[in-house]
């Protein structure tokens, strides 16, 4: 069974418009020889006919011609009608020539147009054949789209088919005889739905927004647009071409669009945001590669021109004038304005001001107002009219962002000149210089007058009309004349006073004019030295270690200046012949000596009056040596020291002759070495005493704690305790006397070695046929308590040896609470024999004796707090007399 036959015009019921357009390639053994296209008998103009494979015929073809002018072929092989075509004979043919002009290759392709498909069976020559079909579009969704004539086998389509929904259909054709015989196998028909250009291309957005910087170079990319088409890919139906239809504002044309990619670029570098900051483009996309009959769509593209710093700020004026009062600080004196065409409040618009010239002293400062972009000129350091009456400033301004046209002749900085006039004010006196000095000899007579501090009026440059007042005078040595500022001495000046440093005494003076305006200055009085201080020896105690040295070096100092000081002359100042016989002063050979072991006061004196450190000139030192082997002890040696001008003083030295190796050793043990010093306790001795006292307190505290702990120990069993309590026995029948050893009543002590014996608890007593157990004092052991590892055990001696019995009694409740659980455990063991069965003579406990007797409970006698109420014991039976005696015994 095959598909062939004449072309049918259409279904009698549905007509030609609903006939399915089919294209089945058949009988094409060579792609470049013949192609068959199934088409309707009527084809309108610009109608898609089918597609041929040009690439398989000649891949490199660059020129295409057709033999029939009613048809045209595109590069992808799509065949379209150019005019209305009717297949009068049911067939039509034309030839396509392919050329490659470079390689001179040539191919030709024959195209045959035929009518609809016919299904025919070879068995139709021998049988009556009925044709039928099944599959999608027939008996499956979409239902009843295709049908076949039963007798002829012509295949028809009942309605339009959307390729975007169904690309192809696979049907199965059957050929049967009227009696149901199937002479041939079923035939598979694949119906491919050829694409019609029935879908317009669509932009992904209706409005596109892009930004491009002004002054961008030609060819700068602005943005890219994109469109989609639902028709069959890689066909002319989906080959899109982009273009710009309209630009607003129109002149000149500044943008272009790539036809296949949709990329928008600039065609000019003259974009200027300050002229036009926004453009609107109307763009188009068209399929069929832009052919006039292709479907198209439009969209809007808005292009914003971005700002760059291509306009520098410019001052609105080239010259400014302003004024300010002298001595004014932190005041605004001028606002400078600029013009800038760039985008407001952007770095391309914001201005940076600077002072280029005229602010060498730092009197001015200029900042930018962030709101108005103005330059605010301020005075930050006071101006002096007397120094400068007018100041000229050169101000420059640039943008925060760098200028983009540096190569141009125009400078990115704009400048302006500002003239500042300083207004004169009556500002009062000036204390210049702030520190002035005068020289006065110390010890001048009180009342001596001298020049003082002088202030000036800056307007008149004179000191007339200025009054003076003393603000500070640490020692009260001077007085200040109110009119002239001169000083007079009120107390004796002493250059060597403690508060004087470097021989200068400072006072503070206040100068005032008639209006009360003032200034403050310092007057330094340089005190010239006079020889009013004799030299003296600051170290007045000298140690001589007799074992290692026979002399000591002594150093003198003079508070006066060196011109009134050394060299010094040392001599013994004593009329006592014994002193002169024992001691001798000699000069030290050499120029320098080393001073050792100075006390604090002597060290300070040397540093203050001689030189830094401990190296002194030999002109200020001498050697004191002993003679005639003096004994250990302390000696007083008066020495006179005289300076170069003859002024002297006497210093009484205390010389310690000591049996030592170093001077420090002698000082530490001066009493032992010299034999006269008082006995003193050293730090170690004091520490030993304190430790001994602390040890005594620790021992005392331990004893107190031990006694307190002993008083808290549990009470021991008194000697007569067994006579005050009853041990219950359950044997009432007569029997032999029995003694029970307490060795069987043991308790395990945690941490103890083995079992601790409780001791003898009682002995058997027989009276009136009843056995009792009596608690007696056994083995000099006591009822003690022992606490080990958190457990409390009683009836344990805890320690061996003789133990004293406490002299107080236990109450019955204490004894009962202690013994009841332990006796119960032991009794339980007593009534079992070796086979762990109950013995016949085991002890039974009971809580009431003499039931029905007038005596009541046996335990009543042990609970009586006093002897009163025991008269009934006089009338007991003989067998209870022993119990009565036990109860009443004290």
Say whether pLDDT at 518 is over 70: yes
Residue whose C-alpha is closest to residue 537's, from 647, 646, 645, 639: 639
Q: Give mean pLDDT, residues 680-709.
A: 84
Q: Give mean pLDDT, residues 872-884.
A: 63
Q: How many CA atoms lie within 13 A of 620 on its CB side?
A: 27
Say whether pLDDT at 693 is over 80: yes
Cβ distance 100 to 84 under 8 Å? Answer: no
* Phi, psi (rounded to 5 degrees) for 733: -80, 155
For tokens 């009227």, what's the residue? 178
Task: Give the pLDDT confidence of 651-664 residue by residue, as tens digits.
Answer: 888 889 888 888 78
- So what's the pLDDT on residue 264? 96
| Out of 227-241, 314-328, 753-767, least confident range | 753-767
Q: Give mean pLDDT, residues 212-227.
A: 94
| Out of 187-191, 300-304, 329-333, 727-731, least confident range | 727-731
- So what's the pLDDT on residue 627? 85
How many angstroms from the chain centroid is the CA of residue 265? 49
Q: Give mean pLDDT, residues 271-288.
A: 93
CA separation, residue 884 to residues 771, 811, 854, 876 (Å) = 15, 18, 14, 8
Task: Give the pLDDT confidence of 618-652 residue by residue, as tens digits.
Answer: 688 888 888 888 888 888 989 999 988 888 889 88
| Out of 220-234, 418-432, 523-537, 674-688, least confident range | 674-688
Looking at residue 630, what DSSP letter applies?
P
Which pair of tokens denotes residue 254? 């500044």
| pTM attached to this predicted model | 0.45
Question: Which DSSP helix (H) or strand (E) runs through 818?
Answer: helix 812-830
Q: What is the mean pLDDT of the chain?
A: 76
Question: Which DSSP helix (H) or strand (E) runs through 657?
Answer: strand 648-658
Say whether pLDDT at 205 is over 90: yes
CA separation, residue 729 to residues 39, 741, 772, 823, 878 (Å) = 135, 15, 5, 12, 18
Reported as a pLDDT band with limits 50, 70 and 90, residue 57 is confident
Cβ distance 771 to 738 under 8 Å? Answer: yes
- So what's the pLDDT on residue 794? 39
Task: Give the pLDDT confidence of 697-736 residue by residue, as tens digits.
Answer: 899 889 888 877 665 555 444 444 444 444 544 544 444 4
- So what's the pLDDT on residue 357? 94
More confident residue, 776 or 455: 455
Say whether pLDDT at 229 is over 80: yes
| Out of 217-231, 298-312, 418-432, least confident range | 418-432
Return the HEC string of 592-608. Answer: EEECCCCCHHHHHHHHH
Say whether pLDDT at 15 is over 50: no
For tokens 């071409």, what's the residue? 241
**How buried is residue 825: exposed, middle or buried, by Cβ count under 10 Å (0-12/13-18/19+)?**
exposed
In order, the DSSP letters of 71-104 are EEE-TT-EEEESS-EE-TTSEEEEEEEEEETTTT
Q: Give mean pLDDT, residues 385-396.
A: 91
| Out of 259-268, 508-517, 532-541, 664-673, least confident range | 664-673
Q: Give mean pLDDT, residues 368-385.
A: 93
Say whether pLDDT at 767 is over 50: no
Q: Give mean pLDDT, residues 310-339.
A: 92
């Amino acid at each position: 069974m095959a598909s062939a036959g004449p072309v049918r015009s259409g279904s009698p019921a549905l007509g030609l418009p609903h006939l399915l357009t089919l294209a089945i390639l058949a009988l094409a053994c060579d792609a470049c020889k013949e192609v068959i296209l199934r088409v309707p008998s009527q084809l309108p103009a610009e109608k898609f006919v089918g597609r041929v494979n040009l690439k398989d015929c000649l891949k490199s073809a660059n020129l295409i011609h057709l033999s029939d002018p009613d048809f045209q072929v595109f590069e992808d092989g799509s065949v379209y009608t150019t005019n209305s075509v009717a297949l009068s004979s049911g067939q039509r043919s034309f030839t396509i020539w392919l050329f490659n002009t470079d390689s001179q290759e040539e191919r030709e392709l024959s195209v045959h147009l035929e009518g609809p498909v016919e299904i025919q069976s070879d068995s139709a020559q021998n049988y009556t054949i009925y044709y039928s079909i099944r599959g999608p579009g027939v008996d499956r969704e979409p239902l009843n789209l295709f049908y076949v004539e039963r007798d002829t086998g012509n295949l028809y389509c009942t309605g339009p088919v959307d390729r975007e929904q169904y690309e192809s259909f696979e049907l199965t054709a059957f050929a049967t005889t009227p009696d149901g015989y199937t002479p041939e196998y079923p035939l598979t028909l694949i119906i491919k739905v050829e694409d019609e250009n029935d879908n317009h291309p669509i932009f992904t957005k209706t409005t596109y927004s892009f930004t491009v910087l002004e002054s961008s170079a030609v060819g700068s990319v602005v943005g890219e647009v994109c469109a989609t088409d639902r028709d069959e890919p890689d066909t002319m139906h989906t080959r899109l071409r982009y273009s710009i239809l309209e630009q607003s504002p129109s002149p000149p044309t500044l943008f272009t669009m790539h036809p296949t990619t949709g990329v928008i670029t600039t065609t000019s570098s003259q974009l200027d945001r300050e002229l036009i900051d926004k453009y609107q483009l109307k763009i188009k996309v068209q399929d069929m590669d832009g052919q006039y009959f292709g479907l198209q769509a439009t969209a809007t593209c808005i292009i914003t021109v971005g700002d760059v710093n291509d306009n520098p700020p410019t001052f609105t004026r080239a010259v400014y004038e302003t004024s300010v009062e002298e001595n004014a600080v932190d005041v605004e004196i001028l606002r400078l304005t600029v013009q800038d065409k760039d985008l407001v409040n952007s770095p391309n618009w914001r201005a940076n001001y600077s002072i280029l010239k005229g602010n060498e002293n730092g009197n001015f400062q200029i900042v930018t107002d962030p709101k108005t972009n103005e330059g605010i000129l301020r005075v930050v350091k006071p101006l002096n009219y007397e120094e400068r009456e007018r100041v000229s400033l050169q101000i420059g301004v640039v943008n925060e962002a760098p200028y983009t046209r540096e190569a141009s002749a125009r400078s990115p900085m704009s400048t302006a000149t500002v003239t500042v006039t300083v207004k004169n004010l009556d500002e009062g006196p000036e204390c210049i210089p702030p520190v002035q000095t005068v020289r006065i000899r110390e010890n001048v007579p009180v009342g001596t007058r001298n020049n003082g501090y002088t202030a000036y009026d800056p307007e008149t440059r004179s000191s007339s009309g200025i009054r003076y007042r003393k603000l500070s005078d640490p020692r009260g040595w001077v007085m200040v004349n109110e009119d002239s500022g001169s000083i007079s001495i009120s107390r004796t000046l002493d250059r060597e006073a403690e508060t004087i440093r470097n021989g200068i005494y400072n006072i503070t003076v206040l100068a005032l004019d008639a209006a009360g305006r003032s200034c403050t200055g310092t007057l330094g009085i340089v005190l010239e030295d006079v020889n009013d201080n004799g030299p003296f020896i600051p170290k007045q105690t000298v140690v001589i270690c007799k074992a290692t040295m026979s002399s000591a070096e002594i150093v003198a100092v003079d508070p006066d200046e060196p011109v009134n000081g050394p060299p010094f002359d040392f001599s013994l100042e004593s009329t006592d012949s014994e002193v002169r016989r024992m001691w001798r002063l000699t000069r030290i050979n050499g120029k320098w000596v080393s001073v050792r072991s100075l006390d604090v006061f002597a060290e300070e004196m040397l540093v203050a009056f001689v030189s830094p450190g401990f190296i002194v000139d030999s002109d200020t030192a001498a050697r004191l040596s002993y003679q005639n082997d003096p004994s250990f002890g302390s000696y007083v040696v008066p020495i006179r020291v005289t300076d170069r001008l003859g002024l002297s003083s006497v210093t009484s030295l205390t010389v310690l002759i000591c049996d030592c190796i170093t001077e420090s050793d002698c000082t530490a043990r001066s009493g032992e070495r010299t034999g006269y010093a008082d006995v003193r306790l050293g730090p170690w001795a004091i520490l030993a005493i304190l430790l001994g006292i602390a040890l005594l307190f620790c021992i005392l505290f331990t004893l107190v704690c031990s006694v307190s702990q002993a008083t808290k120990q549990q009470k021991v069993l008194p000697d007569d305790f067994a006579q005050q309590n009853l041990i219950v026995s359950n044997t009432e029948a007569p029997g032999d006397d029995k003694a029970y050893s307490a060795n069987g009543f043991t308790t395990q002590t945690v941490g103890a070695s083995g079992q601790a014996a409780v001791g003898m608890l009682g002995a058997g007593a027989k009276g009136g046929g009843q056995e009792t157990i009596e608690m007696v004092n056994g083995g000099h052991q006591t009822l003690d308590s022992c606490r080990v590892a958190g457990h409390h055990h009683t009836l344990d001696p805890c320690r061996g040896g003789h133990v004293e019995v406490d002299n107080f009694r236990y109450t019955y409740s204490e004894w009962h609470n202690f013994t009841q659980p332990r006796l119960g455990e032991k009794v339980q063991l007593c009534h079992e024999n070796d086979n762990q069965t109950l013995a016949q003579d085991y002890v039974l406990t009971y809580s009431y004796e003499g039931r029905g007797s007038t005596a009541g409970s046996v335990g009543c006698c042990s609970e009586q707090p006093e002897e009163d109420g025991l008269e009934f014991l006089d009338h007991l039976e003989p067998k209870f007399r022993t119990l009565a005696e036990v109860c009443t015994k004290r």
